[in-house]
Amino acid sequence: MSFERIPILTMGEFLLVTIQGEMHDTLATTLQRELTARVATQGARGVLLDISGLSMVDSFMGRMVSTIASITRMMDAETVVVGMQPAVAITLVEMGLTLPGVLTAMNVERGMELLRGRLGFAREDSNDYGESERDAIDF
């Protein structure tokens, strides 16, 4: 049908996906498949899903985002949704789609900080049992 693809960039131990333009269902499904494959082959620890270029997110796309976050989490990588536009956030909440369990950040930079922070704590966790709980960022 179409050969469009959403590029997946590697940034150290993270993957960055910038979604722009029109998102149709097949593209969303392709992204889900390719992204999870890349997490596995590269052993990525985090995924930044930049949706600042999306002017609309409906329940299908919202579900895709949630699913990506759940799948990557099971593969030991966190997904952070980055840059959701205010009108999109308002619409999603009104629709009843609050993306529970999905990490979010204002922009890619803050998303990276969030991922690094979580990874850092996770690493501390493995050597040091006592203190980590108090410092963990809890969403």
Partner 1 sequence: MTTVSRNETLSISEEIDVVMARNKVRLFAKEAGLGLVDETKLITAASELTRNMLLYANGGTISIEHVSVAETAGVRIRFEDCGPGIVDLALAMTDGYSSNNGLGLGLPGARRLVDEFQINTKKGEGTVIVVTKWKR
Which residues here bind partner 1, judged by CB under 8 A? 1-2, 22, 24-26, 55-60, 62-63, 85-88, 90-91, 94-97
| 115 closest CA partner among 8, 10, 13, 6 | 13
- Smallest gap from Cβ 77 to partner 1, in A, equals 24
Closer residue to partner 1 in complex, CB, 16/57: 57
**Nearer to partner 1 among residue 12 and residue 21 (C-beta):** 21
Residue placing its CB nearer to partner 1 in the complex, 20 or 26: 26
33 φ, ψ (degrees, to nearest 5): -70, -45
Closest CA to 51 of 11, 22, 74: 22
Question: Could you tell me the smallest distance in angstroms from the CB atom of residue 24 to partner 1?
Answer: 5
**In terms of residues, how long is the chain?**
139
Least separation in angstroms between CB 27 and partner 1: 10
Give the distance, in angstroms, between the CA of residue 10 and the centroid of all CA atoms in the same chain.
14
